[in-house]
Each structure stands twice: as structure tokens, then as C-alpha cells.
Structure 1
Amino acid sequence: MRVIDKKSIAVLPFVNLSNDINNVYFCDGLTEEIINALASIKVLLVTSRTSSFYFKNKKVTSKEIREKLKVATFIEGSVRTSKNKMRITVQMIDALDDFHFWSETFDRNPENIFEIQDEISLFIAEKLREHIGHLEIEDKLVEAIDVPVAIYREYLKGRYYMMRLDYKNSIKGVNILKEVIHKSPNFSNPYLDINLAYVNMGTMGLLPALEAYEKAQPYLLKALELDPNSSRSQLNLAWIECWQNWNLKKAYEHANKALEMQQTDDIYLTISNFLTVEGKLDAASNYLDKALQLDPYAAINHHYKGFLYYLKEDYKTAIPYLKKALDLDPKLPFPPIYIGICLLMSGKPNEALTYFGSLEGVSVKDLTKLGGETMCYAMLNETEKCNEGLKELETYSNTDLVDKAFTFLILVNALLDNNEKVIDLITQAYNNRLPVILLLNPSPILKPVKNHKRFKDIMLKAIPDNLNYKQKKKYKQALLDSNEIKKYSKELEQIMIDYKLYLNPDLSLKDLASYLELPANYVSQLLNLGFQKNFSEYVNTYRISEFKERVLLEENKGLTLMAVAYDSGFNSKTVFNTFFKKIEGITPNTYLKSNS
């Protein structure tokens, strides 16, 4: 069971206590703004919107929040409005010990909407710091937007409908947001939200993908023109660089910039996507775990966890995650593809055929049923039915479903051992710049062609840093050069901050290496040259810092020094005392007395 980080928090949706439906939009908007504001505070783990809003209009106990969201603290509140007055009540609850340790009522003018958001976010951050320990908090967490309050309220209304994610409400939200743009053309948020609405509709099969992405593109470009430096803009740029421009180096740059601004699950998921493209599946899993920690009720996070297990050929473990994704969002189009393929690759072609045959709705429209059944016929040696399926799939190769059609054509031919045909199809997909190319690299079904020269050439052109084909060249007998040491040192420090690996008393050099996707001997060299420390010195330095922070907390005053040391990652009294004196020059007891 994962230990709950004391610097973790969830903001539950604020409750509307007014009769006015328009106040619902404000309540949701206020909740989102507080989540975004708190997410900008370094080292604070903030549950993402999807998981917070999972509990909207549900009565839940402190224990349920602690167990389901794995947070130490949560916020709940309510909003009541009248003509000239708004009353916002906010409470902060310690989920670990189940008590309300702070509540406040804000009576404010509804017109001061941006000041209210910033004031409440800062107040929460300050009270949180008093309760859990030091946090670096900026003077402002929510920047005022240069639009009239009435238009901002309309924006919140549009976003409210857009985030309901079905076709009817998405279109309604888009139309409201277009009207907001007409009134305030320099307001960047509605452009980003319209872009997101179309991308979501294309991804979920509510619109043809090509049509949806074409509609989304101009809104994204305008948003980037107006505000290129927000975390959302940087994240969108990362997606463009990867999936449209096939430039992973720039994609990582934008994604890491976004991560520096905010630690959100969609940024961690995005980086996991990029690592998957390169074939770095262990590192992708690590980043995906972080996304799941921040948003355990996001269907796409569970789907991707299952997808990574599929790529690792652990089909039995993959299926429950894929089914959990469908439980959370039955309209998500991706999980059915891989549930069926996992059954197929587990040696259960008849069970897979039954599963694909039972699919309805979105899955029919996006070729999952047709493609899945054709794959099953290939495995069952039902040649006539397989050829019929291939012919029908080929009819979609010049339509909006071209990417999905090529995916299944490639996979079916791979199962039939038509390796030359597979390479021909991959060449066509590459020449047409189909995004499917980027997900062929780690596919277990394509293992028979991965050593084919033409396949290697295409993969290296599409993904220059391809792990499968460049790793041996990359790690020569020569030592890491100075640029690599600088790059990996920065990555390692960020990983230690994000994941707090040092709290694991059994942490090994090999464990550390898996997060960097480097051989253990290279990480050993990196520690020596980049930090002038061996593995034990490096990790125990973090543990000493953790101990120094924990031992001074009011909540730990009843614990012995060694109890705090064990909580900080040490598993030996001798090692703890030796390292503490070596680093601090005094004993732990002397340190405590001098700082009490």
C-alpha cells in the first residue's frame, strides 16, 4: 500500500447553495482555479480535476477521501450568492486524523471574481503551510484576466458544458465559447478550450478524428499567439512537436517547461506517451504512476497503465486496468481494442473473437470491431473471413479513418507473417505522416519485423533517438560526456524531488537506474562525476534533509529520533548517526536541541 504523502491535497467541488443555475458554473470554475493555483506550488501534490469532480454531488467521509484519493488533506466549500453579495465558506480537513483544522467564511462582492480566486487560493496555501510544513508560495497564485466579469462568467458557462464530454454538451459549450471570443478576441482561455473540445470529440469518436483535429488547429494556433508561455500552451506545443512534427527533443522541452509550471496528471501522462514512443517502457510506467497518483479516477490514466502492460506482454495484468478505464468512462474508445488484443495474444482467439463481436456504438464506428475480428480470423487460420476483413479495412484507407485502418492492416498482416506486406504498409504510413508510425516501435505484435532493415530505417527516421536501435551505439565503453552528465544530473534531481525515492529504505542503484533508463554502471558514474558522491552518500543526503525537516514538526515531537529517521528512509541506526555527523558535523540530538 502506498504511503500517503503529507504534502498531498484534494479540492472537492464547491457546492452551490443558490437557486441560480449560473452559480453552478462559478462553483466549478472556482474549484478548478484553486486546483490550478495550488498545483503551481512546488512539491505540493494536488489531485487533478477529474478525480476531484468524481465526488461532485456525492456525500463522502474523510476516510473515503483518504482511501480513494490517497491525500493527507482535502478542501470542501460552498458558495451562496445574492444580488450584491457572495458568501464563500471553505473548510480544510486533515484526512489522516479526520478533523477540521481550519474554516473561513469570505463575504465578497461578486464582481471581484479574480481577487476572490487569488485570495482564497493564497489563504488555503498559507493555512496548509502552517499545518504540514514549509512550502514556497508566490505572492500571487491566480492572475487577473483582462476581460469583463460578465464575459468571464459566460466563459465558465461554456467550459462547464464542454467538460461534460458528450457530443451535445460539447457543441453547446463550443458555441458559448465562440461567442465569448467574439466579445473578447484577445482572451486566450476559450481558444484553448475549444481546441480541447474538438480534440476530445475526435479522440472519443464523437467526430471523425481528421475533421476534429482540423477544426481544433486554428484555435490552438491563436491561443499560442496570445499566450505561448502558459503550462497549457506548452503542453499543446509538446503534443504538436511529437505527433505532428515527430520532433521528440522539442516535445520533451515543451512538456518539461509545462511541468516546471504545474505538476498535473496530464503532463506526466504526456511525458509517459513520449517515453513509450521511444520504447522506454519502465520510465513511461514511472511517469504514468505519477499521473495515476494525482488523478486516480481519470479513465485515460487507467487505460494507459493497461496499454503499457500490453506493450510489456503482461496481458493478464493489462486487462483489469483496461476494464477499469471502461468502468470510469464507457465511451472511451481505446480500451476495447487492447482488451481484445490481450485476449488474442494470451492464446484465447475464440474468446477475443466473441469479445470483439459483442462491441457496439463507438467501437463499431472507429473500426475496432472490424479490425479486431479480422485479427482473430488471422490467428484462427480462417483465411476466407480474414481476407474479407482485410478488403473491407482497405476501403477505409482513403477516408477519415485512415490511421485506424492502417493500424489494423499492419497488425493483421503481421499475424499472417506477411512481413514484406507489413513493411510496405509501414512505408506508406510513414510517407503519409500517419501518427500510427510512432506507436509501431514498441508493438509486441511486430517483433518478427523489428530486425528488418527497412523497418529499422523507417523507425530511425521517424524517431532518431529510438531506444531499440540506438542504445548499443549510445552506451559505448567511453564514459558519459560532460553534456550527458549535466542532462542526467538535472533529470535525476527532478526524479528525487517528484518521487521521493529516498523514502524507500530498500532503494538500490538498479532501482534508481530504471527511472533514468540507464544501465546501473552509468548511474554509478553519473553520481561520482555529477555529484561527487557514491550511491549511499547521494541517497542518504536526501534522507538527512528529510529528517531535519520532519524532526522539527510539532506532530513528531512525541517520536524518538530513530522513529523519525526510519520515516525518512533510513533502516540502520549506525548508518543514520554516521551520515548525520558526517554531513552536519554534529549529532542528531545536538541538532534537535539547537533548533528547538
Structure 2
Amino acid sequence: MSNKKEIKTEFVREEVLKNVKEPVKIYEVITNYKTEVPDSTLEKHSAKKISEKSIAVLPFINMSTDPEQEYFSDGIAEEILNTLSHLKDLKVAGRTSSFQFKGKNIDLREVGKKLGVGAVLEGSVRKQGNTLRITAQLINVEDGFHLWSEKYDRNMDDVFAIQDEIALAITENLKVILLEKEKSIITKSHTQNLEAYEFYLRGRFYLNKRFLFQCLEQFKKAVEIDPDFAKAYAGLADAYVILGFYNFLPSKEVMPKAMEAADAAIRLDNSLCEPYCSLGLYYACFEWNWKEAKNNFLKSIQLNPRYVQGHVWFGHYYLCWIEGKFEEGERHLNIAIELEPYNAMSYINKYAVLLTGGKFEEAFLTAKQGYEMDRDSMIGNRIMGFAHFYKKQYTAAAGYLEFASKLSNYAAFNQVDLIKLYTSMDLSEKAGTVMEDLKQRVSAGKYVGSCIMSFAYGFMGDIDKAFDWLERAYEEHDAYLCILQYYPFLPVRLRQDSRFKSFISKLNFPE
């Protein structure tokens, strides 16, 4: 593009790519649209009227000598945040938005302004053996003065009581009106077993980072130690359903375990919103029971209207890709963004909804927003690659999609993205190399989702084999089948084939 002066580009980075000898310089095509989105987003949310009864809970600082104790300090803050988020009279900034300030030396008044809250809770945790020191202070954003502070020197046995005391102190100092059932939420204990609780906090720590196999092991240990630990079962359900939905493991292997864990969580505590959300995805992508899927998603949101993942999954996967209700799906994604203005995943999922609904220019800008918040993630680069792909900016798309595949250690679904890209660029040799890689994985007995193989053959132009793999996906209850009807990244020739409509009819999608 160096000889096309009318096209403006911006250097992004230099990458060493697979099967390419020399480092490749990646440039981004600059459009006429304003793309400095995060700043405008900040301005939009900081300009909002700050509610008097509103708070952000920052991650507590790990003061222990062992850096591995970070999961514990993060977990204490997250548990307090989650408790407060159930209080109707208190606005609470979401976890992702609050935890973005971790490790940053920033004025708390500025934090409050950016998040649109009137108070900020910060603290620290020092854990050594069985002794525990937790400090907490509540800061008034308007003037930077303390509203309340406390230091707790206790034994580990008192960790649950400390969390309750901090939450109650916040409600008193912010003059939050507590309903009777909300008082019980604050003082509710989900386990009295400290060992199980620590495994649970480790599980949450890994789940938030999407280290799915690591979090799975921690949640398993938590429920082995305390079989009545509802929140640990909810974490298990989340991990299993995500592993199945994204084709990391076969659906028949993990989806029944997701249902079992979610049912256990609900049996022990039916006030939890998370297991209902997991069941929503389970019924949609494993049983194809659309009524149960929708009911469980709605139950999750009813229990906690501030549950961001509930709005994202229901709006994107169910309303958009299953029912084809793009505007309604977009509304739920907008709610998620309002709740978590700094959560890249909400923007990334909204991009897919907008793209599916045909709002291409708005979709591109939304992808840019999500990417700018999470430039180093696989999903951020993947979605930015698609954004450029659908503007036919294939060179820019290649930089992002190849980097995304590298970040995922060349996961199968990322490799299919490259086949889609290379065939569109008439780079048949490169597409063939990636296709051969997927075939070798299958031959070696490594798991590759049947839908993924179907898409790969579809992009390569072998439609008969694409349908062979779709039939196999049907027998396996492959999770991707639930989104097939409106999935925008499907091979065009596969969708246009007369057999596709007949295949889709077997899934009995809602009218």
C-alpha cells in the first residue's frame, strides 16, 4: 500500500509469524471515522451525574511476602463487591471496570470521576499462616477525605466476619437503605471451611483470567472439601459450559457436568444468578431446548439485573444468534456496557450483534472500542481482524488474525479464521497449509470440534465434506450448532447450499 498515498495507515507492531521467515510489520488502515473511542467513552461516563449512593471496590493490595497470595487479596475485594452489588439502593461499579486500576497509582478522586461513583473502597491484605490483617478505607470522591476506615487484626477463621463488617460499614456510611432480605445477603455465609474458601478464591482468580483448566481444578477441590459450597459449584458450571461452548473439549464430555454443577449450586442456594446463566447456555448449545434456555437466562437476569455476563450471553448468543432479534440483543449489550463501561468483552460481543444485524460501520467502531481496551488479548485481536475483514481490508485483517492465532497457541477456531481469510485473499497455498494442520490434529486423535472442521472444509470449497462434518456435529451435539442459523462467520457456499436449510430444520429453532 506504500504506493497508494490516499490510504492512510498507522504502524501497530512487528510480529514473527508462522511459516514466514522475516518479521512482518503490521499496519492498521485509518478510516475517516474517529477511533479514539476509549477517551470519548471515559468522557461520556465521567460526565454522568454521580449518584450519592454509589461505590467502586478496588482490588485490595497484596501485602503478603508471597506474591502467590494475590488471588486472596483480589478475592476478598471481589466478594465484598459481589455482596454490595445485590443491594438495590446502592450503585456498584462492575468488577472489570474497578479492577482495571489494579497496580496503577491514580488519584482516587479521578477513579471515582471515571466510574461515575461517589465513593471508592480500597484496602490491603496481609496473610501469614493463620494470622490476617485487612485494612479498608472508604473515600469520598468529591473531596478525597475518608468516610470510614478500619484495620482488622484477626485469625483466618474471622475472614468471613470481616467481609460482613466491611460491607455493613459501607451501607451505614453511605446511608444505604437495606431491605430485610438484603440484610441476610450481607451476612450469608456460603462456606465455613477456610480451605475450601481459598480454593474457591483461586478458582475465581483463574476464571476471571479465563485460565479455564486451572480454575476447574480449584473449584473441584473446593467442592470436594465442602460438598455444600454453592458458589464453588456455580464456578464449576461456568468453567464447564465455557469449555464446551468454545470447543475446547467435546460437548458430550463437559456439558452434562456443567448441568450437574449448576443444578447442585441452585439446590444449595437458589438465589445465585450465575448457575441459571450457565444453564441457559447449556440448554441452548447442548440440548437445543430453546424454551428452557431462554427461561434460565431470564431467571439469571431477574435474580441480578446487574449481572453483566447474563446480559452478554442472553443478548448475543440467544437473542441475536438463535432468535435473530438483533435490536433486542443489542439492547442487552448496551445494558452490559452501561454496567461495565470498561469491559472489553461487552464491546466485542456487541460487535458481533451489530455485524449480524447489518450495522457494519457501527460494528467496526464498536470492535475498535473493545480492541483498544484489550489490545494484547486473543479475542481483541480476533475481533479487530474480523472488523477489517468485513471492510475488505484484508492486509490489516491478516495482521490481527495471525497474531490472535499465535496468542491462542494456534487454537482450531483461530486457524479456521485464517483459512477464511486466506481463501478470500486467493492465498490457496497458505490456506492449504493451515487446513493440513487441522487434518493432522484430527488424525493424531487431538480434539477439533466437528463444526470447526465443517467450516474449514466449507471455506476450502469442499462442501460435501463440510456437510459430512456437520452431520457428525449433530450426532455429537457440537455447541456451535446452536448459533448456526444467524452465525455471520459461516462459509457462504455452505449456507447457500440447498442441504443447509434441511439441516437447520432438524434443530427446530424458535420462530
**Structures share fold, TM-score greater than 0.5:** yes
Conservation of the 8 A alpha-carbon contact between 1:89 and 1:103: no
Partner amino acid for 2:340?
Answer: D
Partner amino acid for 2:257?
Answer: P
Relative to structure 1, the CA distance from residue 178 to residue 275 in structure 2 (aligned partners, 3 Å threshold; closer, same or farther) is closer
Conservation of the 8 A alpha-carbon contact between 2:454 and 2:467: no
- Per mean C-alpha deviation after superposition, the further-off stretch among 249-258 and 220-229 is 220-229
Task: Measure the CA separation in 1 of the matches of 2:165 and 2:115.
Answer: 26
The residue that corresponds to 1:93 in the other structure is: 139
- Which is strand-richer, 1 or 2? 2
Task: Measure the CA separation in 2 of the matches of 1:107 and 1:384.
Answer: 64
Question: Does 2:341 match 1:341?
Answer: no
The residue that corresponds to 2:185 in the other structure is: 141
- Per mean C-alpha deviation after superposition, the further-off stretch among 386-395 and 97-106 is 386-395
Conservation of the 8 A alpha-carbon contact between 1:377 and 1:385: yes
Partner amino acid for 2:57?
Answer: V
Shift in Å, 1:82: 7.9
The residue that corresponds to 1:264 in the other structure is: 307
Shift in Å, 1:121: 1.6
Structure 1 SS opposite 2:338: helix
Structure 2 SS opposite 1:365: coil
The residue that corresponds to 2:447 in the other structure is: 400
The residue that corresponds to 1:440 in the other structure is: 484
Task: Measure the CA separation in 2 of the matches of 1:443 and 1:165.
Answer: 26
Task: Measure the CA separation in 2 of the matches of 1:39 and 1:347.
Answer: 43
Relative to structure 1, the CA distance from residue 266 to residue 355 in structure 2 (aligned partners, 3 Å threshold; closer, same or farther) is closer
The residue that corresponds to 2:167 in the other structure is: 121
Shift in Å, 1:38: 1.4
The residue that corresponds to 1:553 in the other structure is: none
Partner amino acid for 2:74?
Answer: D
Shift in Å, 1:366: 1.9
The residue that corresponds to 2:264 in the other structure is: 225
The residue that corresponds to 1:210 in the other structure is: 249
Conservation of the 8 A alpha-carbon contact between 1:353 and 1:372: no
Identity of aligned residues (%): 25
Partner amino acid for 1:218?
Answer: K
Shift in Å, 1:19: 4.7
Partner amino acid for 1:10?
Answer: A
Match among 28, 39, 52 for residue 74 of structure 2: 28
Conservation of the 8 A alpha-carbon contact between 1:356 and 1:368: no
Question: Does 2:194 match 1:150?
Answer: yes
Conservation of the 8 A alpha-carbon contact between 2:378 and 2:404: no
Partner amino acid for 2:171?
Answer: A
Conservation of the 8 A alpha-carbon contact between 2:344 and 2:374: yes
Task: Measure the CA separation in 1 of the matches of 2:262 and 2:162.
Answer: 25
Task: Measure the CA separation in 2 of the matches of 1:141 and 1:261.
Answer: 13
Conservation of the 8 A alpha-carbon contact between 1:30 and 1:117: yes
Aligned residues: 453
Conservation of the 8 A alpha-carbon contact between 2:394 and 2:421: yes
Task: Measure the CA separation in 2 of the matches of 1:155 and 1:359.
Answer: 31
Structure 1 SS opposite 2:76: helix
Question: Does 2:427 match 1:379?
Answer: no
Task: Measure the CA separation in 1 of the matches of 2:126 and 2:430.
Answer: 63
Structure 2 SS opposite 1:209: coil
Partner amino acid for 2:347?
Answer: H
Relative to structure 1, the CA distance from residue 87 to residue 295 in structure 2 (aligned partners, 3 Å threshold; closer, same or farther) is same
Partner amino acid for 2:137?
Answer: Q
Structure 2 stretches of 5 or more lacking a match?
1-43
Alignment of structure 1 residues 107-506 onto 2, 5 Å: 107=152, 109-110=154-155, 111-129=157-175, 136=179, 138-145=182-189, 147-156=191-200, 158-159=202-203, 162-163=206-207, 165=209, 174-197=216-239, 209-210=248-249, 214=253, 217-218=256-257, 221-222=260-261, 224-225=263-264, 227-228=266-267, 229=270, 230-262=272-304, 263-272=306-315, 273-277=317-321, 278-319=323-364, 321-322=366-367, 325=370, 328-329=373-374, 332-353=377-398, 355-357=400-402, 360-363=405-408, 365-367=410-412, 370-381=415-426, 400-402=447-449, 403-410=451-458, 413=461, 429-444=473-488, 455-462=500-507, 464-465=509-510, 470=511
- Per mean C-alpha deviation after superposition, the further-off stretch among 336-345 and 301-310 is 336-345
Partner amino acid for 2:320?
Answer: T
Relative to structure 1, the CA distance from residue 353 to residue 54 in structure 2 (aligned partners, 3 Å threshold; closer, same or farther) is closer
Task: Measure the CA separation in 2 of the matches of 1:341 and 1:152.
Answer: 42
Write the deviation string for residues 87-137 of structure 1: whole angstroms up to 9, x where unpaired: 544333343x3443621326464323333322322332233335xxx5646
Relative to structure 1, the CA distance from residue 129 to residue 261 in structure 2 (aligned partners, 3 Å threshold; closer, same or farther) is farther
Q: TM-score, normalised by structure 2?
A: 0.73
Shift in Å, 1:265: 1.0
Question: Does 2:53 match 1:11?
Answer: no
Task: Measure the CA separation in 2 of the matches of 1:460 and 1:198.
Answer: 28
- Per mean C-alpha deviation after superposition, the further-off stretch among 217-226 and 60-69 is 217-226
Q: TM-score, normalised by structure 1?
A: 0.63
Structure 1 SS opposite 2:136: strand
Shift in Å, 1:155: 2.6
Write the deviation string for residues 364-409 of structure 1: whole angstroms up to 9, x where unpaired: 6223564334334433456676667667656667852223222343
Task: Measure the CA separation in 1 of the matches of 2:300 and 2:497.
Answer: 38
The residue that corresponds to 1:572 in the other structure is: none
Task: Measure the CA separation in 2 of the matches of 1:14 and 1:364.
Answer: 32
Write the deviation string for residues 60-93 of structure 1: whole angstroms up to 9, x where unpaired: 2234323543434332233456888755443333
Structure 1 stretches of 5 or more lacking a match?
471-596
Relative to structure 1, the CA distance from residue 122 to residue 395 in structure 2 (aligned partners, 3 Å threshold; closer, same or farther) is same
RMSD across aligned positions (CA)? 4.1
Shift in Å, 1:157: 5.3
Conservation of the 8 A alpha-carbon contact between 2:138 and 2:149: no
Task: Measure the CA separation in 1 of the matches of 2:106 and 2:487.
Answer: 42
Relative to structure 1, the CA distance from residue 85 to residue 184 in structure 2 (aligned partners, 3 Å threshold; closer, same or farther) is closer
Relative to structure 1, the CA distance from residue 426 to residue 214 in structure 2 (aligned partners, 3 Å threshold; closer, same or farther) is closer
Task: Measure the CA separation in 2 of the matches of 1:233 and 1:354.
Answer: 38
Conservation of the 8 A alpha-carbon contact between 2:245 and 2:480: no
Conservation of the 8 A alpha-carbon contact between 1:114 and 1:144: no
Greater C-alpha radius of gyration: 1
Relative to structure 1, the CA distance from residue 58 to residue 349 in structure 2 (aligned partners, 3 Å threshold; closer, same or farther) is closer
Conservation of the 8 A alpha-carbon contact between 2:72 and 2:198: no
Structure 2 SS opposite 1:103: strand
Alignment of structure 1 residues 511-522 onto 2, 5 Å: none
Partner amino acid for 1:294?
Answer: L
Task: Measure the CA separation in 1 of the matches of 2:197 and 2:466.
Answer: 53
Task: Measure the CA separation in 2 of the matches of 1:425 and 1:68.
Answer: 49
- Which is helix-richer, 1 or 2? 1
Task: Measure the CA separation in 1 of the matches of 2:233 and 2:124.
Answer: 29
Structure 2 SS opposite 1:59: coil
